[in-house]
Structure 1
Amino acid sequence: MDIQYMLLLVGLTITSTTCTGISGLKMLVGNCVVTKIRQERPSIKRDHYCIRVGQFYVCREWQCSRVSCLDDKPGIGNCRVCPGTCIDGGKVYREGQVFQSVDGVNMCSCGAKNVKRCSHRRRVTFISLCLI
């Protein structure tokens, strides 16, 4: 399904701007950046989660939370984590905590050694990632 058609279905208008470093357009839609697929996924400097919808990459980006410990270490992506914590969507969770994934549909838990485990039971959609 064409992403512009999907946006019309949910009543959104598209804000299009020329994207530096990427040939084509970058559209800001809800919580996401949408770019037309070229040869590879666009380079994104912040932490992000992307899905492919037809001929587009749909990416939700976020800033990492600041760490409040002296013995922090790299987490998944660009964010850093403290012992006994996990990070998802820029938010910090404590070991044993259960939370909704940044994808908007699956559940995750924070395990030992900063390992985040998430279900993959529900399909991630443009609407769940960007609009909820």
Structure 2
Amino acid sequence: MARVRISDRVTEVYLAASTLMFVGWGGLLALLLFTVPTVDARWMFFLLALSALTGTAIPFIIFLARRFGKTPISVNVLIRRAIWVGVIGCILAWLQLGRALTWTISLLIVSVIVGIEWLIEIRERSLWNPDNVNEE
């Protein structure tokens, strides 16, 4: 089974990004305007923020991958990187709610997640699949 590249599924990727952005940012707006700050609303905030940040990050990651990447990335890698952006944003928002967020902690969290992504990339490059030898 061949890897699916972004260029093969541009319409689907942008449709998914638009849906995530619409649901996330629209839900956050509705949440902030029409609810009171309870525990349920706080968890809904994190869920909607993850959706909004992930959907917003997808076009930027596509641009950066096309501009600076040596090879086209697969859709799975694109979605994983966008989810990392959403996770970073939610972790930072959670820490800010408890007034525990500092620049040092922010840089530490970002560097840890970038390191995890780097290790995942190294693992993916090291996997050898005999079916894909002739395709590349």
Q: Does the pair score TM above 0.5?
A: no
- Hey, which of these two has a bigger chunk of helix by percent? 2
The two structures have a TM-score, normalised by structure 1, of 0.26
Q: Which has the larger radius of gyration?
A: 2
* Greater RCO, CA 8 A, separation 6+: 2
